Every structure is written in structure tokens, then in C-alpha cells.
Chains A and B, each alone.
Chain A
Amino acid sequence: MIMLPEIGHYFLILAMLFALALAILPMLGYWQRNAILLAAAKPLTYVMMALTCASFLILAIAFARDDFSILYVSQNSNSLLPIWYKVSAVWGGHEGSLLLWITILTLWASLVAYKSETLPNSTGPVVLSVLGVVATGFLAFILFTSSPFIRLLPDQPVDGVDLNPLLQDIGLIIHPPMLYMGYVGFSVAFAFAIAALITGNLNASWARWARPWTNVSWAFLTLGIALGSWWAYYELGWGGWWFWDPVENASLMPWLAGTALIHSLAVTEKRGVFKSWTVLLAIFTFSLSLLGTFLVRSGVLTSVHAFASDPTRGVFILALLVIIIGSSLFLYALRASQVKSQVSFGLTGRESWLLINNILLTILTLTVLLGTLYPLIFDAFDLGKISVGAPYFNAVFSPIALLLIVFMGIAPLAKWHSTKGALLWRMAWLPALLAVTLSALVFTFHTFDAYLWLSFAIALWLVLMCVRDWLDKVLSARQSLWQRARKLPRHYYGMQLAHMGVAVSLIGVIFVSMNSTETIVRMAPGDRVTLGSYEFEFLGTRHVEGPNYTADTGVINVYQDGVVIAQMLPQKRLYKARQQMMTEAALNPGFTRDLYISLGEPLANGAWGVRIYIKSFVRWIWLGGLLMMAGGLLAAWDKRYRRKIGA
């Protein structure tokens, strides 16, 4: 048992060798038309996956057994840490989260290998081989710069430094795996695109294979981002749900590009147009995932999420980034010129609406990219150190996103090739009128703000257009509504669900910014403060002992119409191992509002600085994320992806 970490390290080295073999042999087999080498791809993938998973498991065991002779374990765990946090501490630091990254990559690769019977004979191995290249790079990165198995012998510490208290939370147990499932999942679409370039098989079939994989990755990424936002909301103690922080942007960019990819894959598969653009987009989406990994792991940008980091690692990832992106674009430049779209489309066809979708999503991605990298550009030209504030992103992102959502209402009911203006008018006039009126009605109860009114009208427009489209499809004289509704394919419902999710999130965002109130006050025991229709009474604090922390718990009674509706217990914790203070906010969640209280600092005479927020409809933001995720999964589950396709 004592040798386990060494075995884990050894497994990683072996995994890298297998990944290298996977990167080379099937590719050679493809050029030389050697069936044996091609057939090696599958077993190589499985072995690589088994070795990586075993290595991951060994690290998890080391955490569970408190093996503080391992540097990484001693820095990220502590004997007092509850067991579930010990296990999630595996990805609590740099080394382990990279190991999680590569483990998920090999799992995706194995899934591709398992499902590859439906692919033509040479495509599957080439796809796996491309994934092998990526895996080799990242395994080398782990082994050369950030092995989690480095020992601290013979001066083994008695106890660990502890997991960063911010990460001791349920949100952080599931957030990184979900996010990485998404990030890394885009490598599959990327591998399909590269394989299509290599084999020259750039007809619509590659798009069909890539679609379900892209949908599923996108769904995971959506969930990961929503979880991250939710975690930041309650854990950072200031009630914001999005900060335009470089690390958040790093996950948003692949999401935006991935959203564009989903739509352009649909057009490429169904109509055979946008072929080379879709390939390029698949390359970009994965490149942005890699860029995100680089930004998060190199610490080049000042971020509220920034963790201590090591510049040599940044250089290594940057090199990896340049090699992967550079060689893909080079290959693209060589091959993409051969692609010709056979089908033309009209200016009013659904193709055009989806083209607008792609243009707007690409612009959104670029504006976020620019805002995120601008400080680096500024610094590189020695113009000084700057930061780009959240107002930049709000000013640029929201109008473009709203425009995109306007088109989201129209595109699903447009017809391929060309759409008659009369049809659009017939379908759209009522939803448009209703949206504008209903939104105006809502604002008669509230101070009027033209921009928020327009935003809300756009959210309603999207909902109404989704419903309108569905009604148009199910209403019929001959069949019952239920019969027809059941006949609609899953991918249609997936799309509707995801689009509804966008509307729900948008409504959440609008109400949070419009209707939320907050106050930061000094409260002594017995003090009362009124906020909105609620009254908050501070009863004082009491001392609490946690498993690995001590805390002052504030006791606050919440009154509505003179009746106590809740007692809220915000905490100020001191984590013993790191001597680190942590604010644990108290939440009283609700469908239409959250009450949110966090403790600041102790002041004189038992008084505390207290922040109280009422957040309107804030849950809707994440609820929308869940709907989007469900939509993505439902669409990927469509029957037609499970048929065998010849090529």
C-alpha cells in the first residue's frame, strides 16, 4: 500500500506512452492503409483510459487515507476534513484538476471508441488518434510540470494544510467535473472535424456524427457554468451571480462558440451548407476550451478566482495551445479550399436566420475574448496595467445578446431554403403585440426603464414564439393535439426546451437587476431594519464549533406583516488549519425572491456589519440553465442519431 502513489505515477507515464501510440499508430495505419494499425486504435484508447482512471483512483485513495507524505495531498487536505470534501479535494488544486481533465478526456475517447461501429472504417481510428494527440499533450504537461504524486519524504508533515475553505462546499464537489465534461467534450467535435479534414470526408455525415456529442458536451458545460454561478452567488458572500471575471469568461467563451457550433452543425447536416465554417467553428470551440484552461491555470490575469500559480506551467500550456491550434488551422488552410457547398439557399430561408445566429454568437464570443485579453494586450505593449470592468461587458454583451434572442424567436419557424414573408407575419404579429403589451403592463407597477422594458418584451416574445410554433405544429383538424404532440421528434422538444431556458434565465436576469434591494448596515443585538416588505431583527451571535472550524453565528429573525417567517443564521467561520476567515451567507430561497444575509466584521459592543439582500427571481437564472441542459440532452437523445450510417 505504501507504494501506491508511485504506482499512480507509473500508470500516468504508461498512459502517456499509450496515448502517444494512439496518436501515431492509427494515423500511420490510415496513410499506409494498414488495417491492423487502424484496428489498434480502440484497444489503445481503452488501455489509456484504464490507466488514467486507475491513477485518478489512487490519488483519491491517497486523499481518503490522509497520506500527507504526498505534497499535493498535504497542501489540499487535512485530517479533520469531512470525507466527502477529502474526495472532492482531489480536484481542489492545480495538479488534481488537470488529472480530472485528462481522466474525463480519456473517458470521452473511450465512449467514442465504444460507439464507433456506426462510423465508416477509417474515420473512427483517425478520430481516436486526434484525441490521442490531445491526451499525449496533457499527460506530458501533468508529468513534466504538475504531477500530483510528488512525495514529501523524509520530512512528512503531521497534518495537511487543508482544502481552501471556499472549496469546502457541495457546489465545488460537482462544479468542476461538470464544467470539464463540457470543456473536454468539445474535443470530440474537434476530433471529428480534424478527422474530416484529414480523410477529406467533408460531406454532411461528419456533422451528423458530431451533433449528439456536441449537444451533450454543451449540456454539461451549461450545467457547469450554472453551478459555478450558483456557487459564487452564495459562497462569495456578496450575492452576485456573474462577475465578468476572466475565469468565468473562460468558461463562457467555449459555451458561446459551442452554441454557435450546435446550430451550424444542424445546417451543415440538413442542408450541406456552411461546411468549412462549421469545421472552423469546431476548431475554435475546442481552442477556446484550451484557452480557458490556460487562463485559469496560468494566472496571467488578475481575477477574483485566481489561485496561486506557477508561470512555467503557463508557458507549457501556451506552447500546447499554439501547437494544437496552429496545426489545426494549418490543416484547415490546406484542406478547406476543396470544400464546395452544392446547395444554395435563399435570403429568407432558415439557413440565413441561423447564419445570423452564428454571426451574433461569434461576435459575442469575440467581444468577451477581447475584454478578457485586453489587459494582456495592454501589458504586452507596455501601456500599463489595466483591468476591464464589468460595465464594459454589460454594455457590449447585453444589446447583442438581446438582438440574438429576437432572432431566436423567428428562426425555428422559418422554412429551409426560403420563407414566405406572409407566413412570418401570420405567425409573428400576435406574439410581438402581446409581448410588448404584457411587458408594458408589468412596468406600470414599476418605475419605467426603457431598456428593461424592451428586454422583458424580448423574453416574452421568445416564450410566445416558442408556444406559437408548437401550436402551429400540433393543431390540426384531423388528429388530436395529444397525438400530434407525441409525433414531434425529440430534437424538436430539445430545441424548444433550451430556447425556453434562455427566456427563463433572461427573465431572472431582468428581475434581479430591476427589483433587487440591498443594504449594508451596522446592527447591534436588538436592532431592527426594514427592507422591502420584510423586517430583520438581529438577536446577536452565538459561538458554534464545526468539524474543522469555529464560527460566530448571527441569529436574525425575519418578519413579514409582523409575523416571523424565518430565522436566518449567517456565519463567520474561522477555519483552524489555515487560520482563514470565511463568510457563510444565510439564504431563504424562494421561487420569486431570495433573502440573503451575510455577516461582515464584528464591530464594538456586540454589533456586526451585516449585508442584507432581497434578490428577485434570482433562481430563475439557474432554472433556465437547467432547462437548457435538459434541452441539449433531449436533442442528443433523438432516435435518428442511433441508426447506423454508411458513408
Chain B
Amino acid sequence: MHPVRKKRMITIAVILVILAAAIGLVMYALSQNINLFYSPTQIAQGEAPHNVTIRAGGMVVEGSVERHSETLDVAFSVTDYQHNVRIQYTGILPDLFREGQGIVAQGKLNENGVLIASEVLAKHDEEYMPPEVTDALEKAKAQ
């Protein structure tokens, strides 16, 4: 083989090997770390899987926030005005968490259909609404 061509072949082979490894890594990591969003209606209708990390969100129902007086446990409901989902969380809620606001939580559904949240997402701006929540509200309204 011509030396220039041989060198080019080696270069391309090296690039392909690295690329293949990277693609494999990406595919594997993506399959493990994608979290689907479910609206309260979808969860109420049993579309959401249990014991898998998912995201759920909606408007925090007024008067639904219960704080334990001795621990950092907190529970609240979110709604898309058709159905509600109960969310439990242990820890400190973000500053902008308030009743009547749209929020997104990440966690796993337990057998009773309660979302045990590992994370309640913070946001920077009180006027901001997570796009998933807007979408869920619109879909619920259309039904």
C-alpha cells in the first residue's frame, strides 16, 4: 500500500475506534439516565412506571403543604386541575417553592402512587413556568 494512503487509513481507523467507543458510552449512559416527565393525569391513569426515576410536576395545591415539625420531611400535592399527585420530600425546598406555583420534582413512585422525590427543582425567576408543566396544564384543559 502507498505509505500516504496507509497513514491515512491508520488515522481514520483510530478516529473510528475512538468514535465507536464514545458512541457506545453515550448510548449506555443515555439508556440509564433519561427521566421521562409524567403529568398528574398520566400518573392517576396509571401510565407512569413505579420504582423508576421519573419527573412529575404541576401546580402546588393551595393548603396542601404539610411540614413535619420535628424533621425535615415535607409533603405536598401538585395538580393539573384534573388530577392530583402527592409528593414527599426530605430536605430543604428551594427558595422559590410556594403554594400555587408550577414545580417539577424528580423521584420514584411508590405503591400508593406517592412520588418520593429526591429533588425538587429550583428556578431563578418567579414568573418562570417549567415548559413541561405548561404543557401538562394545556393537555388537561383540553380533555
Contact = CB atoms under 8 A, between A and B. Distances in A.
A254 to B, nearest CB: 20
B54 to A, nearest CB: 10
Contact of A305 (B11, B93, B124): B124
Nearest to A581: B95
A295 B69 CA distance: 41
Contact of A237 (B10, B95, B104): B95
A241 to B, nearest CB: 16
Given A306-B124, A600-B72, A603-B67, A385 B37 contact: yes
Contact of A359 (B15, B72, B96): B15
B33 A392 contact: yes
A385 B42 CA distance: 12
A386 B25 contact: no
Contact of B92 (A166, A395, A520): A520
Given A299-B131, A300-B131, A387-B35, A581 B18 contact: no
A14 interface: no
B35 A391 contact: no
A611 interface: yes
B126 A363 contact: no
Given A302-B131, A395-B29, A580-B95, A166 B124 contact: yes
A263 interface: no
B122 A236 contact: yes
Given A302-B131, A347-B10, A582-B95, A395 B37 contact: no
A388 B33 contact: yes
A86 B142 CA distance: 43
Interface in B75-124: 91-93, 95-96, 104, 106, 121-124
Contacts of A359: 14-15, 18-19
A611 B92 contact: yes
A497 to B, nearest CB: 28
B32 A391 contact: yes
Interface in A388-440: 388-389, 391-392, 395-396, 399-400
A360 interface: yes
Nearest to A389: B33
A609 interface: yes
Contacts of B92: 520, 598, 600-601, 609, 611
Nearest to A399: B25
**Would you call the interface of chain A mostly helix, strand, loop, or mixed?**
mixed
Contacts of B131: 299-302, 385
Contacts of A600: 72, 91-93
Contacts of B15: 359
B30 interface: yes
Contacts of B55: 385-387
Given A374-B30, A384-B37, A385-B37, A306 B132 contact: no
Nearest to A610: B92
A324 interface: no
A347 B37 CA distance: 48
Interface in A554-583: 578, 580-583
Interface string A351-394: 01001100110010011001100100010000011111101100
Nearest to B131: A302
Interface string A500-535: 000000000000000000001110000000000000
Interface in B15-58: 15, 18-19, 22, 25-26, 28-30, 32-37, 53, 55
A332 B47 CA distance: 48
B96 A581 contact: yes
A202 to B, nearest CB: 21
A170 interface: no
B72 A304 contact: no
A392 B29 contact: yes
B29 A396 contact: yes
B122 A386 contact: no
B3 to A, nearest CB: 9
Contacts of B34: 374, 378, 386-389, 392
Given A299-B131, A580-B96, A601-B92, A388 B30 contact: yes
B26 A396 contact: yes
A388 B32 CA distance: 10
B93 A601 contact: yes
A395 B27 CA distance: 11
A492 interface: no
Given A307-B125, A388-B30, 15 more contacts: A236-B122, A308-B125, A359-B18, A366-B22, A367-B26, A385-B135, A387-B106, A389-B33, A389-B35, A389-B53, A389-B106, A392-B30, A396-B22, A520-B72, A581-B96
Interface of A: 164, 166, 236-237, 299-302, 304-309, 344, 346-347, 352, 355-356, 359-360, 363, 366-367, 370-371, 374, 378, 384-389, 391-392, 395-396, 399-400, 520-522, 578, 580-583, 598, 600-601, 603-604, 609, 611
The 10 closest A-B pairs by CB, nearest first: A600-B92, A385-B37, A392-B33, A604-B69, A308-B127, A395-B29, A307-B125, A389-B33, A581-B95, A392-B29
5 contacts: A304-B124, A308-B129, A367-B25, A521-B72, A582-B95
